[in-house]
Amino acid sequence: MTGTNKGNPVSDRSKRELEAALLDLMRTENYAEITIQEIAYRAGLSRRTFYRNFTSKEEILEGCFDRIWDGYRKRIITEPDLSLPNITRVFFTHMRTHRDMLMIVNRHNLLPLFQARVDVLLPVTFHEARGEVASLPAETLRYALAFSAGGFMRILILWLNDGCRKSPDEMAAIVKDFLSVEMLT
What pLDDT score does 5 carry?
A: 55
Between 111-130 and 57-76, two packed helices, what is the crossing angle to 10 degrees?
30
Tell me the per-residue pLDDT of 53-109, one tens digit each, with 9 for 90 and over. Answer: 999 999 999 999 999 999 999 999 999 998 899 999 999 999 999 999 999 999 999
Tell me the per-residue pLDDT of 4-55, one tens digit each, with 9 for 90 and over. Answer: 556 678 888 999 999 999 999 999 999 999 999 999 999 999 999 999 999 9
Domain coordinates of the chain in residue numbers? 9-55, 59-179
DSSP assignment of 148-169: HHHHHHHHHHHHHHTTT-S-HH
In whole angstroms, give the CA distance from residue 121 to residue 138.
Answer: 16
Q: Cα dihedral sign for 5, 15, 95, 65?
A: negative
Q: Residue 65 in contact with residue 50, Cβ under 8 Å? A: no
- Per DSSP, helices labelled H in 29-180 are 36-43, 47-53, 57-76, 84-96, 99-107, 111-130, 138-161, 168-179
Eight-class DSSP state of 81: -
Q: Is the pLDDT of residue 3 over 70?
A: no
In whole angstroms, give the CA distance from residue 106 to residue 114.
Answer: 10
Tell me the per-residue pLDDT of 117-169, one tens digit each, with 9 for 90 and over. Answer: 999 999 888 888 877 665 778 888 889 889 999 999 999 999 999 999 999 99
Architecture in CATH of 9-55: Orthogonal Bundle (1.10)
Between 9-28 and 57-76, two packed helices, what is the crossing angle to 10 degrees?
110
pLDDT band at 181 (very low <50, low <70, confident <90, very high): confident
pLDDT band at 1 (very low <50, low <70, confident <90, very high): very low
